[in-house]
């Protein structure tokens, strides 16, 4: 077995720790915020170390620049100040389910297929989740706007982008940002875009600041965690090619083996070496394309606290307001 660099082993154990967490999504979500019409609504960009609600982990993953991002909405001052927490996340509870497909074998043809379950949605809850102390990385007011405008923005944006009709439709969680970087680690070109909690926060902040025509209380500097998979280039895979498809399935079988609780650490390290030194693939769940990754060398992948431009969803602002809302309103509950 080839010797694994320290960075690969650290990556393996860090992600194995993180992916082992299970967080049920949106257990007590509400349909819409009940803003008081007589005061402004503050929009707050908040971040906390990933999985810090687990006392065994605490804020340790913050040392690796791994943070969870959310938008908070607040009205009032002092003891009477009210909050609402808006999160965008993978709905499956355990992130492994969103990163590794289910391998299904057709009983008659014995052909193996990959089924993805990676839906990501918004969830609004009443109050300041996990208390103010939890949001230790960022807690910055981005802007303030009239309550009627904030309520209208929720209705228009969520009815367009947070459909609960099908988990296979709408935004899909995609952890990996496949990119080419220079010798200083700066991203020069992004080949496959990631879609994580930070994107959901940025998309709605963008809608509030542009389409809803609100002013910013301060220059908006949004930074969040990205997981960069190094590459010189990628190529879309022809999944109708039998050999290519077999390679893809074998790759995800190895990833399944890595995250399985049925194998030893020694076995997993052997599989890890195979995964890192062989051809890797990434599935862009938002466009339905498999890519072969080329030029993926040490350190293979890394995470960083990167700048996020204030942009809307890649599907375009024209979608907002075009979708009809049923009599129950625009539900944020999954």
Least confident of 49-58, 61-70, 158-167, 286-295: 158-167
Compare 298 and 59 and report the one with higher pLDDT.
59
pLDDT at 146: 93
Q: Are 38 and 148 in contact (CB under 8 A)?
A: no
The answer to whether residues 29 and 334 touch, using CB atoms and an 8 Å cutoff, is yes
Please state the rounded mean pLDDT for residues 239-246.
95
Q: What confidence category does residue 95 fall into, taking pLDDT thresholds of 50, 70 and 90?
A: confident
Dist. CA 61–CA 137, nearest whole Å: 12
With 60 as the cut, is the pLDDT of residue 330 above it? Answer: no
Hey, where are the domains in the chain? 6-317
Residues 92 and 23: their CA atoms lie apart, in Å, by 8
Per-residue pLDDT tens digits for 99-146:
899 999 988 777 899 999 999 999 999 999 999 999 999 999 999 999
What does the pLDDT look like over 133-184, one tens digit per residue?
Answer: 999 999 999 999 999 999 999 999 998 888 666 666 789 999 999 999 888 7
| Axis crossing angle, helix 6-19 with helix 265-277, rounded to the nearest 10 | 120
Mean pLDDT, all residues of the chain: 83
Diameter over CA atoms, the chain: 67
Find the mean pLDDT for residues 88-109: 87
Q: pLDDT tens digits for 269-306? A: 555 655 666 788 999 999 999 999 998 877 778 889 99
Contact between 330 and 31 under an 8 Å Cβ cutoff? The reply is yes
pLDDT at 319: 57
Question: Which residues, other chains included, contact 63 with Cβ-Cβ below 8 Å and sequence gap of 6+?
Answer: none
Q: Regarding predicted confidence, which is higher, 278 or 207?
A: 207
CA distance 25 to 162: 14
Q: Would you state the pLDDT for residue 291?
A: 97
Q: What is the CA radius of gyration of the chain?
A: 21
Any idea what DSSP says for residue 258?
Answer: H
Task: Say what the pLDDT of residue 282 is.
Answer: 95
Burial class (CB in 10 A: 0-12, 13-18, 19+), 244: middle
Q: What average pLDDT does range 55-84 have in this prediction?
A: 93
pTM listed for this prediction: 0.86
Average pLDDT, stretch 320-328?
38
């Amino acid at each position: 077995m080839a010797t694994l660099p320290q960075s690969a082993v650290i990556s393996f154990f860090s992600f194995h720790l993180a992916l082992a967490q299970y967080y049920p999504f949106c257990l007590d979500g509400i349909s819409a915020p009940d803003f008081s019409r007589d005061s402004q609504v503050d929009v707050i960009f908040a971040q906390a170390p990933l999985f810090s609600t687990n006392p065994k982990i605490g804020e340790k993953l913050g040392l690796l620049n791994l943070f969870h991002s959310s938008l908070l909405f607040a009205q009032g001052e002092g003891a009477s100040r009210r909050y609402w927490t808006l999160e965008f996340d993978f709905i499956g509870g355990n992130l492994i389910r969103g990163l590794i497909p289910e391998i299904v074998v057709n009983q008659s043809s014995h052909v193996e297929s990959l089924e993805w379950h990676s839906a990501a949605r918004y969830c609004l809850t009443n109050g300041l989740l996990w208390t103010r102390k939890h949001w230790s990385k960022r807690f910055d007011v981005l802007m303030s706007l009239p309550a009627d405008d904030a309520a209208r923005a929720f209705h228009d944006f969520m009815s367009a982008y947070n459909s609960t009709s099908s988990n296979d439709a709408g935004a899909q969680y995609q952890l990996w940002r496949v990119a080419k970087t220079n010798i200083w680690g700066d991203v020069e070109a992004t080949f496959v875009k990631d879609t994580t909690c930070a994107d959901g926060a940025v998309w709605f902040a963008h809608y509030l600041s542009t389409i809803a025509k609100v002013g910013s209380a301060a220059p908006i500097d949004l930074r969040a965690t990205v997981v960069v998979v190094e590459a010189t280039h990628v190529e879309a895979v022809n999944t109708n090619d039998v050999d290519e498809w077999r390679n893809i399935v074998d790759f995800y079988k190895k990833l399944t083996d890595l995250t399985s609780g049925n194998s030893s650490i020694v076995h997993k390290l052997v599989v890890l070496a195979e995964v890192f030194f062989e051809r890797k693939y990434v599935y862009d769940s938002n466009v339905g394309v498999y890519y072969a990754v080329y030029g993926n060398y040490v350190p293979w992948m890394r995470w960083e606290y990167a700048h996020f431009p204030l942009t809307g969803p890649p599907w375009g602002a024209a979608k907002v307001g075009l979708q009809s809302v049923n009599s129950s309103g625009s539900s944020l509950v999954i």
